[in-house]
């Protein structure tokens, strides 16, 4: 399946067997997104925070 990059709008391919918590990377801008919810064909993403960056939580 495909999902639109929240950063640049490019299409990202998401494997059909992907699971919540998996990271997908935009082939266009290189942004990382974490799958937060997956219900059949509907996927929700949030920007994945880069490792080592502490947001104080
Ligand atoms: Zn992108």
According to the model, what pLDDT value does residue 31 have? Answer: 95
Q: Ligand 1 centre from 13 Cα, in Å? A: 11
Q: Ligand 1 centre from 32 Cα, in Å? A: 8
Q: Ligand 1 centre from 52 Cα, in Å? A: 22
How far apart CA 52 and CA 6 sit, in angstroms, is 22
pLDDT in tens, 2-29: 999 999 999 999 998 999 999 999 999 9
How far apart CA 37 and CA 21 sit, in angstroms, is 8
- Asked if residue 14 lies in contact with residue 43, where contact means CB atoms within 8 angstroms, the answer is yes
User: Would you list the domain boundaries of the chain?
Assistant: 2-47
Class of domain 2-47: mainly beta
How far apart CA 5 and CA 7 sit, in angstroms, is 5
Q: Ligand 1 centre from 9 Cα, in Å? A: 6
pLDDT in tens, 40-52: 889 999 999 766 6
């Amino acid at each position: 399946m495909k999902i639109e990059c929240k950063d640049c709008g490019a299409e990202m391919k998401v494997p059909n067997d992907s699971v919540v918590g998996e990271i997908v990377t935009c082939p266009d801008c290189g942004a990382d997104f974490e799958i937060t919810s997956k219900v059949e064909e509907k996927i929700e993403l949030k920007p994945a925070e880069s490792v080592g960056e502490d947001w104080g939580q």
